[in-house]
Structure 1
Amino acid sequence: MSAVVARVQHGRIQLDESTDLPDGTVVHLYIVDQGDELDDEERQALDDALEDAARSVALGETIAAEDVLRMLDADG
């Protein structure tokens, strides 16, 4: 199974790329849930935060989970 990207334009599904499927080929479409309702600014902020976190992990700037749980319990 392969995946292609398509968009709805004027109520019709339009592929973003050409296909070599023969005429008459039946394809099944599954709508992909985008998962959130972030606007462009919120999406960029999330992407930036994830990149910062990945850099911190790569540099070894992490805290063990048990230490975090201990700190949360102390605040409790």
Structure 2
Amino acid sequence: MKRYRLRLGSEPVEFSAEGPEGVLDAWRSTHKYPNREHEDWRKACASMACDWSGKPVRFDSDEAFASDMLRHGMLEVVDAE
């Protein structure tokens, strides 16, 4: 498993996951809207990330979302073990 850091807002969130797509579950565990359907949650996260960063974030798939989060520096790999 790899270790990741979500940098969005005031406090970074670190989590372990098989791949960067795990960011959605990690973010869900810290957010006040945890009961959304997965596709709605991904779209809401993309909107929040876009508002925060001013960068476009795709929400058509978990992979596209995670890729954009990594590319724009809002998600980073901390430990690749």
Whether these two folds match at TM > 0.5 is: no
Q: Which has the higher contact order (CA 8 A, sep 6+)?
A: 2
**Higher strand content, 1 or 2:** 2
State which structure, 1 or 2, has the greater radius of gyration over its C-alpha atoms: 1
Using the size of structure 2 for normalisation, the TM-score is 0.24
Using the size of structure 1 for normalisation, the TM-score is 0.25
